[in-house]
Amino acid sequence: MEGASTRGVLSHLSLLEVQARSRKTQPQQRSRVKELKAEAEALMIQRDKLKAEIQTHERLQKLRMSMDKQCPREQEEEEEMDEDSEDSQLLRLMARHTHLKDLLHAHHLIGGYDIIKTHQGKGVCVSVATSYEGVCLDTYNLEIDLKPKLRISRHNVPPFIPLNSLAEQSNMQTNIRAFLDTLSRHLNAFAGRKQQLKLLKEQHKSVEVMESNVLCSILVLMLTVPREKTAVLCTLDYTDHTRCLPTRVHFDCEDKELPDSPEWKKNCHLLMETPVHTALLTMKKMGNIV
């Protein structure tokens, strides 16, 4: 048939079919050899790449070893390299990078703080872990923008921890490490005090908590002396918010002589030096309180 039908879809399809069949009848061996040659080339390229990587890695190891030795010193001496080229500078930078990464990992392992990059390097997220007496407690996070200057954009630090004034006081802009160390101390101390209050309430039902606050910086307890059943009001002031132990312990009692007695002077000392829940346990054992 002539005309439109010869240029129709079906005829085009049958043309393609004929072409495909003719291709199949060509000798298979030629293509197989080509394939194998291409594979061999690819493998050689890969081998060269791996060789280069091994070389770089070895040089990096050498650099890291010399860096670690120099670590305690503030200034790093310029290491004499075989070729003082761009390559060696790059390697030095890479070594420094792995050094910092290892430091951060070590920091994470000891329960310090984690830092990760966010927003394609435009910011970081710092996670501060808290713990007390081997128990892991809450983790607090801060998202910090890096440009134009360091700025805390988001965080879940409770409002009674003065985050902004801590940032100002420890010069966050120039010394972020000092800021993070101070923050970590405040948060860990708060977590410790909060945990002590929790344990106190759980373990000492006979002791009444008269006053406390969200920051756990003040604690007023009602203690009872056995036998006479005298009530002693015990006030613990935690004015240093970076510490888990009180800065001041005060007893109030109807019996004015009691706070000055040797037993209660010991108790005062105990409460100043040991966490409140363990101090109360000792006081119970010694028969000072119910």
Partner 1 sequence: MFAEENKWTTKHISELEMIYVIDNPNQGMWHAFQLMDPEDDAHSVELTQFKEQFKSHLSELIRHVSVKIKKHTDEAVWIRIAWGDSYSRPNHLKPTYVVHYLQTPYVFVTSLTSKQKPLLSQALVLSTRHHAIKDANLSGKKFTAIRDLLMRQYQQAFPTKYPSPLKEKNQTVSNPLIEREQAGPAANRLQMACEAFGDGMLPQLQSAVYKLETKFRDQTNKTMTEREESFRCVVKFASTNLLESLRDCASSGIASTPVTPLLSSIPLKGRNYFVITDNSPGPSSQMHQKTDG
Query: Rule CB under 8 A: which of 226-255 touch partner 1?
Result: 239, 241
Q: Which is nearer to partner 1, 45 or 214 (CB)?
A: 214
Judged by CB under 8 A, which of 56, 88, 98, 118 binds partner 1? 118
Query: 34, 36, 44, 160: which one contacts partner 1 (CB under 8 A)?
Result: 160
Tell the smallest beta-carbon distance from residue 13 to partner 1 (Å).
29
CB-wise, 128 or 289, nearer to partner 1?
A: 128
Q: Applying CB under 8 A, does 111 fall inside the site for partner 1?
A: no
The 3-class SS string of the chain reads: CCHHHHHCHHHHHHHHHHHHHHHHCCCHHHHHHHHHHHHHHHHHHHHHHHHHHHHHHHHHHHHHHHHHHHCCCCCCCCCCCCCCCHHHHHHHHHHHHHHHHHHHHHHHHCCCEEEEEEHHHCEEEEEEEEEECCEEEEEEEEEEECCCCCEEEEECCCCCCCHHHHHHHCCCCCCHHHHHHHHHHHHHHHHHHHHHHHHHHHHCCCCEEEEECCCCCEEEEEEECCCCCCEEEEEEECCCCCCCCCCEEEEEECCCCHHHCHHHHHHHHHHHHCCHHHHHHHHHHCCCCC
List the one residue from 111, 158, 226, 287 that touches partner 1 (CB under 8 A). 158
Among positions 81, 98, 99, 143, the unique one binding partner 1 when judged by CB under 8 A: 143
Minimum Å gap between C-beta 7 and partner 1 is 38
Choose which of 81, 94, 125, 150 interacts with partner 1 (CB under 8 A).
Answer: 125
Q: What are the residues binding partner 1 (CB under 8 A)?
A: 114, 116, 118, 125, 127, 141, 143, 153-154, 156-160, 162, 211-215, 217-218, 239, 241
